[in-house]
């Protein structure tokens, strides 16, 4: 292990944060608000932390897997820590624990918040808050690699460490081109949504911040009541479309942009993803129509938005789902756990693993009936390897185990069972809102500080797909 190599690469990440902090400083200056100096000081500190290793450590393009894991996880942890500074320096409701929660929630694109009055924040700080989503959405390391020259083996290892192994499907290019594709799709979707939201009547600031949150499937809104503030069907439709797109594998979206439109529907993963959202929406519409809304159109409007928002791990809201029937809440908890596709900005277990689980289940059923049968599960005519089946099921089990343990810990701190479980599921899946005291129109501010620390841990575990963080703490035992 070479510490100087780790310092050099985390330096690039700190410079990235510094650049976006200085952009937030400009926003603060334009609106003449009181976040100018907190953002300026934070930008200077982040830049200094980043620039020193780049000056004193010579370039290194050959790193090993152990160093790759350390660089990725260290970058996430330091980024979240540096992101605390603007909040703490500004003050208000931001104690260190609250600022840490908001920073981790932003960078991991969770979207949970401790703020009861979001609109009280100055515009510069609101912009920084949304920017943390956009930086974290594509992945901090991927963001850095996309703007740096080709880095050889180092870039390849960092890319493979940062991105889920499931996400490599549909990418058949060299590492640098794959990274450029991710970045190209990410920026293109963001710009398109900004333009359409402006056309629907949003001002420029709100269009940018909501687009950052949508494409990153984050959920931070500069409004207290999220998207319901606008009460605009056209705005909701635009956001729904981009939430769905942001939940699809970016390699498939690039294929669509390149003219291979049929490619996206050939994917059984995408077909299941769309079918699940439609089925969940239909059941929810039927339930809320009987209990909450007077017309079918109104029921469809609010049901579709909430289901798609949770099913893509975005977390925006247009309704108070805590007063919806228990059936709809259970459906939404399912989508909070599952979320969207690997290779997207979505969190959660991901539909890919759910499909792998069912393929494994089908295999076992056939073998129970025909013990000597040789069954090879396939997705899109591609055989699923035995270790991939095992890893998919193991991941789901560990994932649910973390949610269960977190729920028990939160319950021991005084939270009711619904709030504890939904908060754990929402943060582990990087979704945002839960139910009960952490519902779509509430916040996480009333949770004890120890509970907030527990939840930031689940956010990081979910964003780094569990094993990345575990490997970080056991990396010294590698041989």
The one-digit pLDDT tens for each residue of the chain (479 residues) are 777 777 888 888 899 899 999 999 999 999 999 999 999 999 999 999 999 888 887 777 677 777 777 788 888 899 999 999 999 999 999 999 999 999 999 999 999 999 999 999 999 999 999 999 999 888 765 755 655 554 555 555 554 555 555 555 554 555 567 777 788 889 999 999 999 999 999 999 999 999 999 999 999 999 999 999 999 999 999 999 999 999 998 888 887 777 777 778 888 899 999 999 999 999 999 999 988 899 999 999 999 999 999 999 999 999 999 899 999 999 999 999 999 998 888 989 999 999 999 988 888 888 888 887 788 888 888 888 888 888 888 899 999 999 999 999 999 999 999 999 999 999 999 999 999 999 988 999 999 999 999 999 999 999 888 877 777 666 555 55
CA distance 292 to 126: 33
Tell me what percent of the chain is helix, strand and coil, each rounded to the nearest 5.
70, 0, 30
DSSP secondary structure, 130-188, as one string: HHHHHHHHH-HHHHHHHHSPP-HHHHHHHHHHHS-GGGGTT--S-HHHHHHHHHHHHHH
The values of phi and psi at residue 317, to 5°, are -145, 145
Task: Give pLDDT, residue 167.
Answer: 53
Q: Which residues of 330-476 form beta strands (DSSP E)?
A: 378-379, 382-383
Cα–Cα separations (whole angstroms), residue 411 to 28, 406, 432 = 40, 9, 19
Residue 389 · residue 357 · CB < 8 Å? no
- What letter would DSSP give residue 295? S
CA distance 143 to 8: 16
Task: Give pLDDT, residue 6.
Answer: 78
Strand partners, 378: 383
Q: Which residues of 23-100 form beta strands (DSSP E)?
A: none
Longest dimension (CA), the chain: 74
Task: Give pLDDT, residue 146.
Answer: 56
Task: Give pLDDT, residue 149.
Answer: 52
CA 325 vs. chain centroid, Å, equals 27
Task: Give pLDDT, residue 188.
Answer: 93
CA distance 7 to 186: 28
Q: Measured between alpha carbons, how far apart are the two ends of the chain, in Å?
A: 12
CA distance 403 to 370: 36
Task: Give pLDDT, residue 20.
Answer: 94
Name the token pair of 258: 């390149």
CA distance 127 to 85: 15
Which positions ≥6 away from 461 have C-beta within 8 Å? Answer: 402, 428, 469
Residue 457 · residue 469 · CB < 8 Å? no
Task: Give pLDDT, residue 162.
Answer: 52
CA distance 86 to 88: 6
CB atoms within 10 A of CB 32: 10
Task: Give pLDDT, residue 386.
Answer: 82
CA distance 335 to 276: 9
Task: Give pLDDT, residue 225.
Answer: 93
Residue 429 · residue 347 · CB < 8 Å? yes
């Amino acid at each position: 292990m070479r510490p100087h190599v780790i310092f050099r690469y985390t330096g690039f990440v700190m410079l990235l944060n510094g650049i976006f902090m200085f952009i937030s400083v400009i926003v603060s200056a334009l609106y003449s608000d009181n976040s100018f100096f907190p953002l300026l000081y934070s930008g200077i500190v982040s830049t200094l932390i980043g620039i020193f290793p780049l000056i004193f450590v010579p370039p290194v393009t050959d790193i090993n897997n152990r160093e790759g894991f350390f660089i990725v996880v260290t970058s996430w942890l330091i980024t979240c820590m540096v992101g605390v500074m603007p909040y703490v320096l500004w003050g208000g409701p931001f104690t260190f624990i609250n600022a840490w929660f908001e920073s981790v929630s932003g960078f991991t694109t969770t979207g949970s918040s401790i703020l009861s009055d979001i609109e009280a924040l100055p515009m510069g700080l609101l912009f920084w808050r949304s920017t943390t989503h956009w930086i974290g959405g594509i992945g901090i390391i991927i963001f850095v690699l996309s703007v740096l020259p080709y880095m050889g083996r180092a870039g390849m290892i960092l890319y493979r460490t940062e991105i889920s192994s499931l996400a490599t499907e549909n990418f058949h290019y060299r590492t640098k081109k794959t990274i450029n594709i991710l970045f190209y799709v990410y920026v293109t979707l963001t710009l398109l949504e900004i333009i359409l939201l402006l056309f629907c009547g949003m001002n420029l600031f709100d269009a940018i911040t909501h687009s950052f949150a949508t494409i990153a499937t984050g959920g931070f809104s500069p409004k207290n009541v999220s998207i319901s503030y606008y009460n605009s069907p056209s705005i909701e439709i635009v956001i729904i479309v981009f939430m769905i797109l942001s939940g699809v594998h970016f390699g498939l979206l690039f294929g669509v942009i390149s003219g291979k439109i049929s490619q996206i529907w050939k994917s059984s993963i995408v077909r299941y993803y769309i079918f699940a959202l439609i089925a969940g929406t239909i059941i929810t519409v039927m339930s809320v129509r009987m209990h909450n809304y007077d017309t079918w159109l109104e029921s469809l409007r609010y049901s579709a938005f909430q289901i798609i928002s949770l099913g893509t791990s975005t977390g925006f809201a247009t309704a108070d789902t805590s007063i919806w029937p228990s059936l709809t809440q259970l459906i939404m908890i399912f989508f909070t756990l599952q979320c969207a596709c690997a290779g997207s900005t979505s969190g959660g277990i991901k539909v890919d693993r759910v499909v792998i689980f069912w393929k494994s289940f089908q295999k076992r059923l056939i073998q129970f009936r025909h013990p000597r049968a040789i069954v090879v599960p396939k997705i899109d005519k591609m055989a699923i390897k035995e270790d991939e089946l095992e890893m998919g099921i193991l991941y789901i089990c560990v994932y649910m185990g973390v949610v269960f343990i977190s729920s028990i810990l939160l319950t021991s701190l005084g939270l009711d069972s619904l709030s504890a479980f939904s908060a754990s599921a929402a943060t582990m899946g990087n979704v945002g809102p839960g139910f009960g005291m952490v519902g779509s129109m509430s916040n996480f501010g009333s949770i004890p500080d120890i509970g907030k620390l527990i939840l930031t841990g689940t956010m990081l575990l979910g964003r780094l797909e569990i094993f990345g963080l575990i490997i970080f703490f056991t990396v010294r035992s590698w041989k």
